[in-house]
Amino acid sequence: MTAPSTGVQAGASAPVLRWAAAPIWAALLAAAAFIGMDATVKGMTPRYGALQLTFFRFASGLVFAVGLWAWWRTPMPTPGQWRMHLLRSALLLVTLGLYFHALSVLALAQTVAMGYTAPIFISLLAMLLLRERPSRWIWSALALGFLGAGAALWPELQRSGRPQLAGLLSAAGSAVCFAFVMVLTRRQAQHDALPTFMLMQNLLPVLMLAVPVSVVWRPVPASELPAIAAIGALATVGLSAIAWALRHMEASRLAPVEYTGFVWAALVGYVAFGEVPTVYTAGSALLIVAGCLLLLRR
Over pLDDT 90: what percentage of the chain? 38
Query: What does the alpha-carbon distance between residue 59 and residue 47 come to, in Å, rounded to a whole number?
Result: 18
* DSSP symbol at 159: S
Q: What is the pTM (predicted TM-score) of this model? A: 0.81
Query: What does the alpha-carbon distance between residue 67 and residue 86 come to, in Å, rounded to a whole number?
Result: 21
Q: Is the pLDDT of residue 210 over 90?
A: yes
| C-alpha torsion sign, points 161, 162, 163, 166 | negative
Q: Is the pLDDT of residue 106 over 90?
A: no
Q: What is the DSSP string of 182-222?
A: HHHHHHHHTTS-HHHHHHHHHHHHHHHHHHHHHHS-----G
Give the pLDDT confidence score for residue 158 in this predicted structure.
64
Query: What does the alpha-carbon distance between residue 72 and residue 64 come to, in Å, rounded to a whole number?
Result: 13
Q: What is the mean pLDDT of residues 49-72?
A: 95
In this structure, the number of other CB atoms found within 10 A of the CB of residue 222 comes to 6
- pLDDT (tens digit, 9 = 90+) per residue, 232-281? 999 999 988 987 887 777 765 676 677 778 778 888 999 999 988 888 88
Q: How far is CA 190 from the centre of its chain?
A: 19
Angle formed at CA 167 by CA 164 and CA 171, multiple of 5 degrees: 140
Contacts of 286 (CB under 8 A, 6+ apart): 148
Q: Is the pLDDT of residue 1 over 60?
A: no
Q: What is the chain's length?
A: 298
Give the pLDDT confidence score for residue 200 in this predicted structure.
93
- pLDDT (tens digit, 9 = 90+) per residue, 157-205? 666 456 677 888 899 899 989 888 877 776 776 677 888 988 998 999 9
Of 219, 257, 267, 294, nearest to 35 by C-alpha is 267
Q: Is 296 helix (H, G, I), strand (E, B) or coil?
A: coil
Q: What is the mean pLDDT of residues 131-148?
A: 71
Give the pLDDT confidence score for residue 8 in this predicted structure.
38
Of 60, 55, 88, 43, nearest to 189 by C-alpha is 88
Q: Count Cα atoms within 13 angstroms, Cβ side, for 280.
A: 14
Q: What is the DSSP string of 61-113?
A: HHHHHHHHHHHH-PPPPPHHHHHHHHHHHHHHHHHHHHHHHHHHHS-HHHHHH
Give the pLDDT confidence score for residue 139 in this predicted structure.
73
Angle formed at CA 196 by CA 194 and CA 202, multiple of 5 degrees: 100
Query: What does the alpha-carbon distance between residue 18 and residue 244 come to, in Å, rounded to a whole number?
Result: 16
Contacts of 94 (CB under 8 A, 6+ apart): 173, 174, 177
